[in-house]
Amino acid sequence: MNRLNIEEEEEENNTKSAPGMWYQWLEYRLRYYMVLEGIIIIILFVSLSNYHDLASRNMELNAKLEIQIDNLDKRLDEIYELLKTNSVPKPERNEILKNIREESIRPVEVKTSEKLIEKSNSFPITSLNYSRFEMNAANILMGASVDLGLSSSSVSSEDGFFNNFFYPFTRDQSGYILLDREELPPNKSWCSEEKQPVLTINLVKNTEIMYVSYQHSKWNGLIPDGAPKKYNVLACLDSKCKYLEPLETNCKYEKSVNGQDIQEQFCRISSDSVAPPVRKVQFHFLENHGNVKKTCIYSVRVFGIRRNLFRTELKKLQDKKKCEELAWNHKHSSFVYSWVSSLFT
């Protein structure tokens, strides 16, 4: 009888202690997860704090760099205007240029174009009178792009019905021609079947263009059919390229230059060009090698000096645009011409 009572009491005690065990287990778990969550929150807070500090320092550095670049642009514009007007004696002019090179360029040290020209298998740098102020303004990594709306319609770089059929559904490849690459793989190009295709490029900044270059995919002895043979370079004086200023005509891409095959060939812009610094440039391809239907472009570069427009140049450009619009209206729309003329009287 006593044994039975003892078993009943033990069973009753076990039953009573079960909720207590569950409570202790739950309390332990909650404390464990709270400690873990607390550690995670502290880590996240420290990480976010460090990220905020790093972002603030980066923004501060970027702001300082932009200020330095703006100051350099302004100073270069002032020096350019002085040299352009020949109002500075030659000894002082040389001293100014020396100080500019030593003081202004040192903190920025833009060497992109210098490296590009050293890598290329083209004319020696001395023949181009290369300046460290010059840059490749048609570099996609710096913000340049192909203006597809103002360029000729493109087709697949590969031949065949299916390639041309599916080309409109494939990824645009025009950016490859503005990408600086040591080797140009085949079929990574911009192609057009128009008789004299036009390629329009949005430059990185307003650029006073000094010379351009073209490079086709690797060839030995004989340039592939479809490569450009002769082209013109024109500056767009407005965003829609309605008004163009020729920079250089009959630039050539030849199979033998100075007795050797040059992969990248340069075309110097004439010193007689009166075009102001521009943000957009066009290549008009007149002929291709082999006289085939399709012209393919692999690599185009536009070298020049980044320079802001002077107010006088900007005003001349705007006045020229207004005069050309008035002349067009006078010839094609007398009503619009009379109405616009009345605004200026």
Rounded mean pLDDT, 28-54: 74
pLDDT at 126 over 50: no
Q: Which residues are bridge partners to 100 per DSSP?
A: none
What's the domain range around 42?
28-109
Whether 170 contacts 121, CB under 8 Å: no
Write down the pLDDT at residue 127. 40
**Average per-residue pLDDT in the chain?**
74
End-to-end CA distance of the chain: 127
Least confident of 126-140, 142-156, 177-191, 204-218: 126-140
Domain identity same for 190 and 150: yes
Residue 2 maps to a domain: no
pLDDT at 55 over 80: no
Write down the pLDDT at residue 235. 94
Domain identity same for 117 and 92: no
CATH number for the domain harbouring residue 162: 2.60.120.260
Residue 21 maps to a domain: no
Least confident of 70-74, 243-247, 285-289, 295-299: 70-74
Residue 162 maps to a domain: yes
Write down the pLDDT at residue 107. 45
Residue 47 maps to a domain: yes
Write down the pLDDT at residue 303. 93
Distance, CA of 89 to CA of 97 (rounded, Å)? 12
Query: Which pLDDT band, with edges at 50, 70 and 90, does 92 fall under?
Result: low
Q: What percent of the chain has pLDDT over 70?
A: 57
Domain identity same for 307 and 165: yes
Domain identity same for 164 and 302: yes
Domain identity same for 86 and 161: no
Write down the pLDDT at residue 327. 72
- State which of 114-123, 268-277, 287-296 shows the largest mean pLDDT: 287-296
Domain identity same for 309 and 277: yes
Distance, CA of 199 to CA of 297 (rounded, Å)? 9
DSSP string across 260-319: B--SEEEEEPPTT-----EEEEEEEEEEEGGG-S-EEE-EEEEEEEE-PPPHHHHHHHHH
Write down the pLDDT at residue 279. 92
Q: Which of 75, 109, 143 is the last residue of a domain?
A: 109
Q: Which of 45, 75, 109 is the last residue of a domain?
A: 109
More confident position, 237 or 343? 237
Rounded mean pLDDT, 132-151: 86
Domain identity same for 105 and 116: no
Domain identity same for 139 and 221: yes
Q: Which of 78, 109, 140 is the last residue of a domain?
A: 109
Q: Which residues contact 140 (CB under 8 A, 6 or more apart)?
A: 175, 178, 179
More confident position, 226 or 271? 226
Residue 9 maps to a domain: no
More confident position, 245 or 259? 245
pLDDT at 116 over 50: no
Domain identity same for 89 and 170: no
Domain identity same for 84 and 141: no
Domain identity same for 168 and 35: no
Residue 286 maps to a domain: yes
Query: Which pLDDT band, with edges at 50, 70 and 90, does 340 fall under?
Result: low
Q: HSE on the CB side for 68, CA within 13 Å?
A: 14
More confident position, 276 or 54? 276
Structural domains counted in the chain: 2
Degrees, nearest 5: CA angle 328-331-334: 100
pLDDT at 176 over 80: yes
Residue 172 maps to a domain: yes
The residue type found at 160 is G
Distance, CA of 44 to CA of 267 (rounded, Å)? 56
Rounded mean pLDDT, 205-210: 90
Residue 249 maps to a domain: yes
DSSP string across 74-107: HHHHHHHHHHHHT-S-HHHHHHHHHHIIIIISTT
Write down the pLDDT at residue 124. 38
pTM of the model: 0.55
Write down the pLDDT at residue 96. 61
Query: Which pLDDT band, with edges at 50, 70 and 90, does 88 fall under?
Result: low
Least confident of 4-13, 38-47, 185-194, 285-294: 4-13
Domain identity same for 186 and 288: yes
pLDDT tens by residue, 268-277: 998 777 778 8
**Helices in the chain by DSSP H: which ranges?**
2-85, 90-99, 112-119, 161-166, 311-332, 334-343
Write down the pLDDT at residue 117. 36
pLDDT at 128 over 60: no
Distance, CA of 132 to CA of 65 (rounded, Å)? 18
The residue type found at 35 is V
Separation in Å, CA 100 to CA 28, 84, 93, 110, 307: 72, 16, 11, 14, 15
Write down the pLDDT at residue 197. 96
pLDDT at 308 over 90: no
